[in-house]
């Protein structure tokens, strides 16, 4: 009888340990963690021993009314998740702004995360168009931009 009681006690402790581990894993993986949007980091910087370069992709040339395909990669630590890509167009100027979803409070992990955003927009007049990618150029919240000029041909 005493052996059975010890086995039952051991099973209960094991079940409790598994429950605690599962609960903790859910909290770490996003369950109950709050996030807010923050500008994406768009330029290279030295991240925990890894040299990282981001990519900017944009159509070389398009016709008026044809979609301009854009892509930008942001990066940071494991606290960052996909957010949103804001695009505004005014004449022959376009502003592309990636926003990552960042956990609150921010944490610093050694995990390197690269987030790839893609979208499209149109220019409604011909000429030399400028596409600006705006985001953070260093983790200390320095705002910066990357400029790409493309040709928009008349139809």
Per-residue model confidence as pLDDT tens digits over 136-148:
886 567 898 999 9
- Chain segment 7-22, per-residue pLDDT in tens: 455 444 444 444 433 3
In three state form, how does the secondary structure of the chain look? CHHHHHHHHHHHHHHHHHHHHHHHHHHHCCCCCEEEEEECECCCCEECCEECCCCEEECCEEECCCEEEEEEEEEECCCEEEEEEEEEEECCEEEEEEEEEEEECCCCCCCCEEEEEEEEEECCCCEEEEEEEEEEEECCCEEEEEEEEEEEECC
This prediction's pTM: 0.73
């Amino acid at each position: 009888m005493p052996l059975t009681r010890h086995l039952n006690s051991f099973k209960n402790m094991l079940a409790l340990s598994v429950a605690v581990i599962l609960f903790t894993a859910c909290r770490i993986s996003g369950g109950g963690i709050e996030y807010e949007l923050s500008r994406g980091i768009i330029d290279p910087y030295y991240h925990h021993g890894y040299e990282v370069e981001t990519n900017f992709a944009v159509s070389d040339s398009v016709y008026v009314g044809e979609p301009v395909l854009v892509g930008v990669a942001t990066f940071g630590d494991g606290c960052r998740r996909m957010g949103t890509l804001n695009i505004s167009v005014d004449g022959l100027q376009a502003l592309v702004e990636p926003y990552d979803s960042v956990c609150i409070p921010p944490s610093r992990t050694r995990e390197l995360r690269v987030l790839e955003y893609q979208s499209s927009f149109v220019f409604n007049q011909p000429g030399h168009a400028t596409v600006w990618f705006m985001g953070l150029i260093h983790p200390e919240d320095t705002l910066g931009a990357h400029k790409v000029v493309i040709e928009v041909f008349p139809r």
